[in-house]
Amino acid sequence: MGKILFVSDRTEKIQQYSAFFDKKTFEFDSSYDEAAILGIIDINCPDVIIFDSTFSGTKNLIKKLKSITGSTAFILLVKDGSIEPDIIKYINAFLTEEMSENLILSIISANLKTKSALEQLSDTNKNLADSLYRLNVLYSTSSQFAGSLDKQKLVNYMIEGMDKSLSFDLTCTLAFCTEEQPVLILNSLYEISDELLSAIKLRTVLNYKSLFEDKKTPFEIDTESLKVIKNVKYPANRFTFTLFQYDNMFAPISLGDNFFGCIEIFKETPFSSDDATCFQTIAQQVSLPLKSATLYQEIKETNLKLEKLERLKSEFISIVSHELRTPLTAIKNSLDILSSGKCGEINEAGSKFLNMAQRNVQRLAGIINDLLDLSKIEAGKMDYHFANMNIHSVIDYVKSSLSGVAKEKGLNLIAEETADLPEIYADSQRLEQVLTNLVSNAIKFTPEGKTITIRSHIADASQINAHECFKEDLKKLSGKYIVVCVEDQGIGIAEKDLLRAFDKFAQIENSLSRKVGGSGLGLPIAKQLLEAHNGAIWCDSELEKGSRFYFAVPVSTILSEICRV
Ligand code: ADP
């Protein structure tokens, strides 16, 4: 029914209340000695304490006990209903000696109910505070998970989160962190003896194996080779227990077929079902970031391998091209001597074959030079000589050096006159290389009798209009540019191949590409050279009608010059 403590030194009252409360099946105690009262409160925790107001020192005793008891109800027994005003704030109710038994009973019952409601409320509040705290821990742990791709750190965050929310005495985490080397991470309050360590190792290995039953385990582990990392909070103390004395929880850390490890935690006091939910949640939450970390690791390794391969490929191209260039120069010189007639007359058929050999040597030399250029650019070893210059000089040079070839093919190569254009800060030799490639391509892919036109103008980046597929590339342009355009009336390029024309070794399938040959490197080299100028290259074209290749180089400003220094 409830526990009553009656504080009084009046024997007849004690007997009267004892008889009354016993009859009503209350647990009844009485005392007037302060030390004994404290003892009863400590051991028996009464629900209600009734103070006899005639007892001397009641007021001070009530005040004192109020501060050490929780929700116990304090009731004052007065003779006739008159109460010292000072005492009212410390008591929950009062009884008078004339009150009927029923009234007394109802007052006591009401106070018991209030006490139990208060206790429930305080329990609920405590549970709520606990849940809120755990939610906070889960939230901050999952934020830490989201911010890391390092397996070792993720495992540490998991253990930290469990420590904060469950406060364990010992965790044993088997994790596959670095290069899939299994590690047993022990986090404990106290020092672990060698015997305990052997027991933990054995238990962990058995736990691990039990997860796979008759299936093959992902990794072979034995107690001898298991690497152990120990983190001890209070190394001065030592555990004096066997694992069986502690409550424990165990969870695998895995996602689908991916197994990252397992965790077991031990605590002296029993875990609650909320603890189990929290434990499982954290162990599950860490699996996804661990999977991402594994994938990230794999991608990083693959990238490293690819970078290495790319480097080897560039080195290989560079070495082979150098090696080819020396004998090719010797062949070219010999052919030149032969065709000069210095070694004797050559008949008509002979000079035809000699011509063919010279043309092919020329072509081979072009391919080797392209390969060398590309490997230099990719290795960041290309030399640039930037200076203020006018684009007209580049156009004039290319036009005069290629008009002979164009004429031979029955093509008309013209450069449209433009008003004076502002200077650009560029490497004239590299721009000549770019324009030579564009005009050579135009010559290669344009049939006899047609015209190839070189134009140049100044444009603001915002005015440059290119095909959709080059938009991303041109986004980086800003300010004023000199734009050069090479227009031909040749075979054109299909819309789907426009971007591909700038890929390394790309030769777009058409009736001419095989016949005219080429390295497929001219446009990618041009693209990289223009990138080194903070410029861009793009094209538009229509099949059977012709193509327009454009490149843009920024107009010289103090800033562009400073940036290149
Ligand atoms: P290549 O040395 O093979 O010409 P490029 O990188 O200069 O290498 O050109 C790549 C491909 O783009 C060419 O093989 C051709 O298919 C296409 N191409 C380039 N310029 C033109 C053009 N003016 N007309 C049609 N196709 C072109």
Q: Could you tell me if 318 and 172 lie in one domain?
A: no
How far is the CA of 375 from the CAs of 82, 308, 312, 316, 336, in angstroms?
A: 106, 14, 11, 9, 29
The DSSP string of 110-177 is HHHHHHHHHHHHHHHHHHHHHHHHHHHHHHHHHHHHHT---HHHHHHHHHHHHHHHH--SEEEEEEE-
What pLDDT is stored for residue 302 in this prediction?
Answer: 95
CATH (domain of 350): 1.10.287.130
**β-strand pairing of 182-191 with 170-176:** antiparallel
pLDDT at 169 over 70: yes
Q: Could you tell me if 228 and 367 lie in one domain?
A: no
Nearest residue by C-alpha to atom 13 in ligand 1: 507
529 lines ligand 1 (CB under 6 A): no
Mean pLDDT of the chain: 90
* DSSP letter, residue 555: B
What pLDDT is stored for residue 565 in this prediction?
Answer: 54
What band does 167 get if pLDDT is binned at 50, 70 and 90? confident
Q: Could you tell me if 158 and 45 lie in one domain?
A: no
What pLDDT is stored for residue 130 in this prediction?
Answer: 87
Contacts of 26 (CB under 8 A, 6+ apart): 1, 2, 3, 4, 108
- Ligand 1 pocket test: pick from 523, 540, 544 the residue with the most ligand atoms within 8 Å of its Cβ: 523
What pLDDT is stored for residue 342 in this prediction?
Answer: 86
Identify the residue with better confidence: 218 or 305.
305
pLDDT at 179 over 70: no
Identify the residue with better confidence: 99 or 510.
99
Q: Are 412 and 451 in contact (CB under 8 A)?
A: yes
Task: Extract the tokens encoding 336.
Answer: 């030149």
- Ligand 1 pocket test: pick from 441, 500, 529, 538 the residue with the most ligand atoms within 8 Å of its Cβ: 441
pLDDT tens column, 403-440? 999 999 999 999 998 778 999 999 999 999 999 999 99
545 in a structural domain:
yes
Q: Could you tell me if 433 and 558 lie in one domain?
A: yes
How far is the CA of 272 from the CAs of 121, 134, 248, 262, 282, in angstroms?
A: 20, 13, 11, 20, 16
71 in a structural domain:
yes
Q: Could you tell me if 306 and 280 lie in one domain?
A: no
Q: Could you tell me if 173 and 271 lie in one domain?
A: yes
Q: The domain containing residue 327 runs over which residues?
A: 297-374
- CA–centroid distance, 38 to ligand 1, in Å, is 101
Distance CA 331, CA 358 (A): 9
pLDDT tens column, 249-267? 999 999 988 889 999 999 9
Identify the residue with better confidence: 508 or 288.
288
Distance CA 438, CA 488 (A): 10
440 lines ligand 1 (CB under 6 A): no
What band does 215 get if pLDDT is binned at 50, 70 and 90? confident
49 in a structural domain:
yes
9 in a structural domain:
yes
pLDDT at 340 over 70: yes
- Structural domain count of the chain: 4
Q: Could you tell me if 171 and 251 lie in one domain?
A: yes
Q: Could you tell me if 392 and 479 lie in one domain?
A: yes
What pLDDT is stored for residue 314 in this prediction?
Answer: 81
Cα three-residue angle 17-19-21, rounded to 5 degrees: 65
180 in a structural domain:
yes
pLDDT at 399 over 90: yes
What band does 561 get if pLDDT is binned at 50, 70 and 90? low
Atom of ligand 1 nearest to the CA of 501: 12
pLDDT at 470 over 90: yes
CATH (domain of 53): 3.40.50.2300
Q: Could you tell me if 409 and 508 lie in one domain?
A: yes
Which residue in this structure is represented by tokens 């009798």? Answer: 449
pLDDT at 562 over 80: no
pLDDT tens column, 490-541? 999 999 999 999 998 777 776 555 566 677 889 999 999 999 999 999 999 9
437 lines ligand 1 (CB under 6 A): yes
Over residues 328-355, mean pLDDT: 90
